Each structure stands twice: as structure tokens, then as C-alpha cells.
Amino acid sequence: MPFLQLENVSKSFGSFKALNDISFTAEAGDFVVLLGPSGCGKSTLLRLITGLTEDHEGEIYINGRNVTDLDPKDRRVAMVFQSYALYPHLSVARNISFGMEINHLPRAERDRRVLEAAKALQLEDLLNRLPAQLSGGQRQRVAIGRCLVREPDLFLFDEPLSNLDAKLRHDTRVELKHLHQRLKATTVYVTHDQHEAMTLATKVVLLKGGEIVQIASPTELYARPVNRFAATFIGSPAINLVAGELDSAGRFTGGGLDVQLPGSIFDAPAGARKVELGLRPENAVIVPPEEAQQTIAVDYVEPTGADLYVNGHAGGQEVVVRAGRTANIAAGDRLPLRWQLDQALVFDAESGRRI
């Protein structure tokens, strides 16, 4: 049996269906990221796993136990909250040991676990401080320490990086990744940030409107999204979608492109229909004009340091392509392009499903 298993979990608030028939599993040591735009039900799903939100349909199993009817405290889960939820009037040490005090663990055992967690998280020098005297990253480590000492089956994170500035967010993300590799703790992590999902997850559960869109590893999610939503949600800048026609021989025309698509990119034989061709910005190569499949008119250029993102249009449609930072491109230029079509994704224009 998988370590974490959700079976047909649904949850409604009044007439609003927040989650609809959610099923997924995770093995011990997995880092599962629940990813989706705000309002997709990912936080609700996390609260159902903790037991903080009650009354749902379906079953939840953690480490072989059916926890569906258990109180949060009996589920052997620990959670890091978005605000960290540290107790502001208690020292770091008391924050970490609060749960053990509540549960009447002997003092010696409490002290031992606090020290152990403090050592693992480099909090030893901070044990007597109050949360207000800590930086954002330190607060997060305290929140994680509070989880560690409970020795839970499952770690849960609710958008823990959203309150940090960009630099700290990156550092803390790296720290989380290290920690997970060291502790091998099974983790469920909620975020709307695709970077966090891609970098941390061993398995991504992509949600939209209370339903699962796709369950996949980060690389698979990027390379083989099941539909247009999954393709556009992952990737920054977003994937280019070129509207056009596909004929029965696999030839695509539209947006200034007229190209033969390789058969390998199709999951199933494609008939003639209206489609959208998905082309990632990094799959474009700037070529001499005579080799070009498409020429775009450059509207503006966004330098990001390592790369240039060239925003332009062709055949009445907007296109973004990645170019090297040394490329000499300016607004008003005409840029001849060739696409790596073996990386292309083809979506049915009506249903949005990948063909």
C-alpha cells in the first residue's frame, strides 16, 4: 500500500464544490507538490489531509492507517503554515517543545528532541529568542523544527515561501531541498509557484477548479502536459500557442508557419482539425533568413541577465522566444526563426487536450 493515499476525496462548502473526486498516492520519501492557481482547492486539500477541515467524502490513508475519521492530533502529521504560526510570546525552544508539553512528554525527552532539532536546523544559538527577533528564514526553520520534534509520518507545507523576498525564497527553497534529501520525510507541499513545484517536487499534482489536471514528475509535466492549461501554467515565460490548422498528413499552417510536424510528438494519430501549436520560448533558434520557418517582428526585448526574451508578433499572433544574452536584437527588427519541432506540443483547439 502506498504511504499516502487519497481515494475519491470530495469537499463542498454549501453549494460550492471545492474539491471533486481527488485521488492520488505517494510513496514513502516522496515530495508531493500540490500546484495550481489560487482558488483551485489545493489548500483545502491540505487541510483535509491534516484533518483541520472536516466532513468530506472519500478516504485518506497515511502510513497504512485510515485517518479519515481521526482528529488532527491523532494523524501523526506536522504542518508548516504560510505565516509559520509561531507562538509570539514563547521562546524558540518553547515554541518547538509546545506540542510535547501539551502531550506531557518528560522534560528530559523534550529537551533532548529540541536540541536535536536545533542542531539539525542550526537554531542552537537562537533557542532563547522570541519569534519577533528572528529573520524570515530563521522563523521558517523554527516552524520546521516544531514539526521535526513531533516525529510525524507526514510533513505538510502550506505556501511556506510566499512571505519571503525573492533572494531569501531561493535560499530557503534550496535549504528545503537539502533537508528533504537528508531526512527523506514524506512531504506534501502546497504552492502556486511553478518554480517551487519544479525544483522541489518528486511528484506534482496539478489542480484546477477543484479537480486534478495531471499527476506527473516535474520533467514529465513540462515535456508532456496533458492539456493546454497544464502547458501554459508551467513555464516562464509561458508557452507560445499558435492557432492554426492541422491536416491529416501532420502539416501545420497558421501564424506565419507552414511546417511538417514529426509523428513522434503525437500520442495518438491526429486527424485534420483546428489546433493550437505549443512552442516553448527556448525551442526557437535564430537562423539565417533563408533557413527560417517563420519571421517575427520584434516588439520589445526583456533582458533577464542570463537570457533575452524577445517579444514579437507573426501572422497576427504574439510570440516570445529566448535568445542568448549577447544577441543583438532591438525593437523593430525582423527575426528569422526555426523551431525545434520535436519539442512541439499540439492541442486540440476546442477541448484543449494534447493530441
Partner 1 sequence: MARRRKLTPGKLLVRIIQYGSLVIASIAVLLPLWSTIAGSFKTPVEYINTSHSAPPANWLNFDNYRQVLFPQTGLPIGWAFFNTAMIMGCAVVLLVIFGTMLAFVLNRFRFPGRRLLLGTYAALVAVPSILTPVSTFQVLQFLGLANSRWALVALYSGADIVSILIFIQFIRNISTEIDDSARIEGASYFQIFFRLILPMLAPAIATVVILRCVYIYNDFVLPFLYASRPSESTVSIMLYNFTGITNTISQAVIMAAVIIVILPTLVGFFFLQRFIYAGITSGSVKG
* Residue ranges in contact with partner 1 by CB under 8 A: 50, 52, 71-73, 77-79, 81-83, 85, 87-89, 98-99, 102-103, 146, 150
Q: Minimum distance from CB of 106 to partner 1 (Å)? A: 16
Backbone phi, psi, residue 155, to 5°? -100, 135
C-alpha cell at 327: 544577441
Sequence-ordered strand ranges (E) for the chain: 4-13, 16-26, 31-35, 57-62, 65-66, 77-80, 154-158, 187-191, 203-208, 211-216, 240-246, 251-254, 257-260, 273-279, 284-286, 294-303, 307-314, 317-324, 334-339, 345-348
Other residues' Cβ atoms within 10 Å of the Cβ of residue 40: 23
Q: Minimum distance from CB of 293 to partner 1 (Å)? A: 52
Q: Minimum distance from CB of 227 to partner 1 (Å)? A: 34
Pairwise CA distance, residues 267 & 104, whole Å: 58
CB 346 within 8 A of CB 259: no
Residue number, 97 or 194, with CB nearest to partner 1: 97
Residue number, 103 or 181, with CB nearest to partner 1: 103
Q: Minimum distance from CB of 44 to partner 1 (Å)? A: 13
Residue number, 3 or 98, with CB nearest to partner 1: 98
SS3 label, residue 243: strand
Other residues' Cβ atoms within 10 Å of the Cβ of residue 235: 19
Residue number, 68 or 283, with CB nearest to partner 1: 68
Residue number, 144 or 308, with CB nearest to partner 1: 144
Q: Minimum distance from CB of 116 to partner 1 (Å)? A: 18
Residue number, 50 or 283, with CB nearest to partner 1: 50
CA 208 to chain centre: 12
Residue number, 89 or 178, with CB nearest to partner 1: 89
Say what the alpha-carbon torsion angle 173, 180, 27, 210 is, to the nearest 10 degrees.
-20
Place of cell 520557418: 293
CB 295 within 8 A of CB 334: yes
Q: Minimum distance from CB of 122 to partner 1 (Å)? A: 22
Q: Minimum distance from CB of 193 to partner 1 (Å)? A: 19
